[in-house]
Amino acid sequence: MLHCRPKILRYTEGVKKARPFPALIDVARRAGVGAGTVSRVINGGQYVSKRTMARVQEAIEELGYQPNVAARSLKGRRTKTIGLVVPSVADPFFSVAAGAIEAVARDHGSPVLLAQSENLPSREREQITSLIQRRIDGLILVPCDGGNLSLLQQAAFPLVCFDRPFPGQPFATVLGDNYGGARAATEHLIHRGYKRILCMAGDGKLFTSQQRVRGHRDAIRDAGLPYFAELEVQDYASASDALRRHLLGKDRIDAVFCIKNLITMNAYKILRELGVEVPSSVGLLGYDDFELADTLDPPITVVRQPVVGIATRAAQLLFDALEKGKHPKGTTTLKVDLVYRGSCGEMLASRRYT
């Protein structure tokens, strides 16, 4: 049943255009075999005789052949590449996370396409679009906006979020226990006798901030302490001024709870600058551990998130989806540690907050 097969000259032997890389067909010609055979050798070598295999491998070697992933993924619908969208890789939290994710991805043979959203919805959209056009197999996302839902649903690749959930949507998500961590932190401050605690929340629109503020608030309420709205600072711009004001004016605060890395460091600077005694006149507690937190004077008590754990888990969930087909749903919340140092009273051993 041979139907008319017109002989089409596909790979013009005569005119060799200067190609940057040799293609599979070049290997085939050099080894004197067909294209299919070379492909078989590359992919495991089932149904190829030892002799042929050796000849092909020699040709691959000689030409320095490198398979073209673009062509491969065009046919096979797998790019073996995952996407990662974070607000900013310069942020220590996300840079450590990105490093961990790259490590997992590499172990699975997939490089990472890195994109930064800067917490801007429009930027996030651009970046996701760009990744979709590159047909990534899966995406790890720190979402900053719910507006890209339709984009992602249409794309239909596995998606795992970390650090923040996708607003209003049950994608697989890996979080630190923001509420619990903040609550434990504030309870610790209260237990230490601090009563008027300034909560420096950074960007109040962010999920993590909101959760931590909530934990803080609940701890205050449950301890029966009065709640003061003016003791929650929800933006970066006015944070330093607010802290100074509350340290110097009347109704002075006696503790500061900082909800993020850089805020803690900034608060520490200001406390030093004003010559405030820590922890005796004002207590300081930060969210996120940082290099030197244990060396400052006094060492800073912090809530420590398992950054690598969170990122690694997210990556593993993604590859489970890709390789074992088990689509992850639901939220994984990882425990955080309260690391007692000296900035809100005497030092104790670290304790895992459950």
The contact set with DNA (CB under 7 A) reads 1-2, 5-12, 17, 19, 21, 23-25, 32-40, 42-43, 47-49, 51-53, 65, 67-68, 71-72, 74-76
If binding is defined by CB under 8 A, does position 127 make contact with its own copies? yes
- Identity of the residue, 70 or 248, whose beta carbon is nearer to DNA in the bound complex: 70
Smallest distance, Å, CB 127 to DNA? 19
# of chain residues touching its own copies (CB under 8 A): 61
Treating both helix axes as pointing N-terminal to C-terminal, what angle do 261-273 and 239-248 enclose, rounded to 10 degrees? 40
Contact pattern for its own copies over residues 280 through 319, marking x by CB under 8 A = ----------xxx-xxxx----------------------
Residue the block writes with tokens 């979402």: 143
Which of 304, 268, 306 minimizes the C-alpha distance to 289?
A: 304
Cα–Cα dist 139/104, whole Å: 13
> In the range 55-94, which residues lie near its own copies by CB under 8 A?
64, 66-71, 73-74, 77, 79, 81, 84, 88-90, 92
From start to end of the chain, where are the E strands?
A: 82-86, 112-116, 138-141, 159-162, 172-176, 197-200, 232-233, 255-258, 283-287, 301-304, 331-334, 337-339, 351-352
Picked from its own copies, DNA, none, the partner binding residue 96 (CB below 5 to 8 A depending on kind) is: its own copies
Comparing CB distances to DNA, the nearer of 44 and 168 is 44
Find which of DNA, its own copies, none residue 54 binds, CB within 5 to 8 Å per kind.
none
Rounded CA-CA distance 288/226 in Å is 27
3-state secondary structure 87-131: CCCCCHHHHHHHHHHHHHHHHCCCCEEEEECCCCHHHHHHHHHHH
Residues 111, 136 contacting (CB under 8 angstroms): no
Nearer to its own copies, 46 or 133 (CB): 133
- C-alpha 55 chain-centroid distance: 45
120 is a site residue for its own copies (CB under 8 A): no
- Please, are residues 321 and 340 in contact by the beta-carbon 8 Å criterion? no
- Nearest distance from C-beta of residue 111 to DNA, angstroms: 17
Q: How many CB atoms lie within 10 A of CB 334?
A: 15
Provide the mask over 177-196, with x wherever binding to its own copies is found by CB under 8 A and - wherever it is not: --------------------
Determine if 95 is a binding residue for its own copies (CB under 8 A).
yes
For the chain, the straight-line distance linking the first and the last C-alpha, in angstroms and rounded, comes to: 71
318 binds, among its own copies, DNA, none (CB under 5 to 8 A by kind): none
Contact set with its own copies (CB under 8 A): 4, 6, 20-21, 64, 66-71, 73-74, 77, 79, 81, 84, 88-90, 92, 95-96, 98-100, 102-103, 106, 109, 111-116, 126-127, 129-135, 154-157, 262, 265, 268-269, 272, 290-292, 294-297
